[in-house]
């Protein structure tokens, strides 16, 4: 067996280069390499050259959700019938957000982010702008997918708004319309990894089932009682026959960005460029004369909503940063404090 047997799981040179010469020369190294498919409390499930395995993770990797994500590559040595985690390969990217006030890793080593939304009241351009910023921040190609076009009688309304996003890859489809999913095959090269994200109920798991003939639980259409609902509860990666890795994620109520300044600049590049044309360097784009942004809004080149969302996300970003810096400062204060106390004691001894 050679390292190329891992390629269909997304292995590439980026990870191979992280092996030491000794490791490459040692027999059995290949069998110690795995890609994480699911994360539990103190163990993970993973795929390797010899198939699936359960990997136990020691205390140094706890809490797992802060060290590891679905899609990460790891090394693990055999331990009885399981494996034991040894180290984590530096990822190509690790997608993060803020959840309950703390940074949370959602997934790692992605090539495409399929941002799923549906042609109904769930649709929200501002929410899509957040997902686009997330993808751009981590250098992942975003693909915006509008589902449920079969039960929408105002499709133009949604398509018009999607157009205003200025995203490169946009697809409108329905699992009930044969052929409408065909365009998505453009993103399915062997070894690529796709994660689906979006609100609950937009049809992520249904779309995966339709594309890959899988059998993921989806929300049954039983509006009258909640018992038939099968919402996705765990992030899960699985490999398809065509060599594509798919990550299904539970619906997010809100996506709070974390450290996504560059992503925001990409999504709101027209505003960033306009702001350089304002008469005053320190223009606040409120009521100053010669403000290029206000002029663009007046001439309907950009919408007020687009600009408002930019300001909102920038503000969120700044407050996240302040909070993170605050936590950092507290940590340093205590570190210095204990150092002082400790060295004081040493003097007494």
Annotated binding site: 147-150, 198-206, 278, 283, 285, 291
> In this structure, what DSSP letter does residue 117 have?
E
Smallest distance, Mg ion to C-beta of residue 171, A: 19
User: H or E stretch including 297?
Assistant: helix 292-298
Q: Is 278 in the site for Zn ion (CB under 5 A)?
A: yes
CB distance 58 to 84 below 8 Å: yes
- Do residues 275 and 293 touch, judged by C-beta distance below 8 A? yes
Work out whether 203 is an interface residue with ligand GTP (CB under 6 A): yes
Question: Which residues, listed in sequence order, are joined to residue 236 by a DSSP beta bridge?
Answer: 248
Report yes or no: 285 and 278 within 8 Å, Cβ to Cβ.
Answer: yes
Q: Residue 231 or 242: which CB sits closer to ligand GTP?
A: 231
- Are the C-beta atoms of residues 165 and 266 closer than 8 Å to each other? no
Interface with Mg ion includes 117 (CB under 5 A)?
A: no
CA distances from 77 to 5, 85, 86, 153 (A): 19, 7, 7, 56
Task: State which H helix or E strand residue 198 sits in.
Answer: none
Q: Which is nearer to ligand GTP, 151 or 311 (CB)?
A: 151
Residue placing its CB nearer to ligand GTP in the complex, 10 or 198: 198
Stretch that binds Zn ion, among 87-95, 230-238, 288-296, 323-331 (CB under 5 A): 288-296
**Are 11 and 92 in contact, with CB atoms under 8 Å apart?**
no
Site string for ligand GTP, 144-163 (x = CB under 6 A): ---xx-xx------------
Q: How far is the CB of 101 from ligand GTP (least distance, A)?
A: 22
- The item of Zn ion, Mg ion, ligand GTP, none sharing an interface with residue 113, based on CB under 5 to 8 Å by kind, is none
Where in 170-229 is the site for Mg ion (CB under 5 A)? 204-205
Which residue, 217 or 327, has its beta carbon nearer to ligand GTP?
A: 217
Q: Site size for ligand GTP, by CB under 6 A? A: 21
* Binding partner at 206 among Mg ion, Zn ion, ligand GTP, none, C-beta below 5 to 8 Å by kind: ligand GTP
CB of 206 to Mg ion, least distance (A): 8
Cite the annotated binding site for Zn(2+) by residue number.
278, 283, 285, 291
φ/ψ region of 294 (left if φ > 0, alpha if ψ in -120 to 50, else beta) reads alpha
Give the span between the Cα atoms of 301 and 298, in whole angstroms: 8
53 near ligand GTP (CB under 6 A)? no
């Amino acid at each position: 067996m050679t390292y190329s047997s891992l390629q269909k799981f997304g292995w590439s040179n980026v990870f191979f280069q992280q092996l030491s010469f000794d490791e490459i020369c040692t027999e059995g190294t290949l069998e110690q390499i795995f890609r994480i498919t699911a994360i539990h409390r103190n163990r993970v499930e993973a795929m390797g050259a010899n198939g699936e395995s359960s990997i136990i993770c020691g205390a140094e990797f706890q809490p797992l959700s802060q060290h590891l994500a679905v899609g990460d590559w790891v090394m693990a040595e055999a331990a009885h019938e399981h494996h034991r985690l040894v180290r984590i390969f530096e990822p190509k990217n690790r997608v993060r957000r803020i959840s309950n006030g703390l940074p949370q890793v959602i997934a790692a080593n992605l090539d495409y982010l399929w941002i799923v939304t549906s042609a109904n009241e769930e649709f929200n351009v501002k929410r899509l702008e957040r997902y686009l910023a997330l993808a751009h921040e981590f250098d992942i190609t975003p693909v915006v997918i509008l589902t449920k076009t079969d039960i929408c009688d105002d499709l133009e309304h949604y398509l018009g708004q999607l157009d205003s996003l200025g995203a490169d890859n946009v697809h409108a489809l329905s699992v009930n319309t044969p052929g409408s999913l065909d365009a998505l095959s453009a993103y399915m090269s062997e070894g690529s990894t796709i994660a689906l994200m979006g609100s609950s109920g937009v049809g992520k798991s249904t779309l995966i089932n339709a594309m890959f003939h899988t059998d993921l639980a989806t929300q049954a259409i039983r509006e009258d009682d909640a018992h038939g609902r099968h919402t996705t509860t765990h992030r899960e990666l699985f490999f398809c026959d065509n060599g594509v890795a798919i990550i299904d994620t539970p619906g997010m109520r809100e996506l709070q960005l974390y450290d996504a300044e560059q992503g925001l600049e990409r999504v709101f590049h027209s505003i960033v460029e306009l702001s350089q044309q304002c008469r005053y360097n320190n223009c606040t784009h409120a009521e100053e004369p010669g403000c290029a942004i206000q002029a663009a809004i007046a001439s309907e080149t950009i919408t007020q909503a687009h600009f408002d969302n930019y300001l909102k996300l920038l503000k969120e970003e700044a407050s996240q940063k302040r909070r993170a810096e605050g936590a950092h400062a507290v940590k340093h204060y205590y570190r210095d404090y204990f150092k002082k106390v400790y060295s004081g004691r040493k003097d007494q001894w």
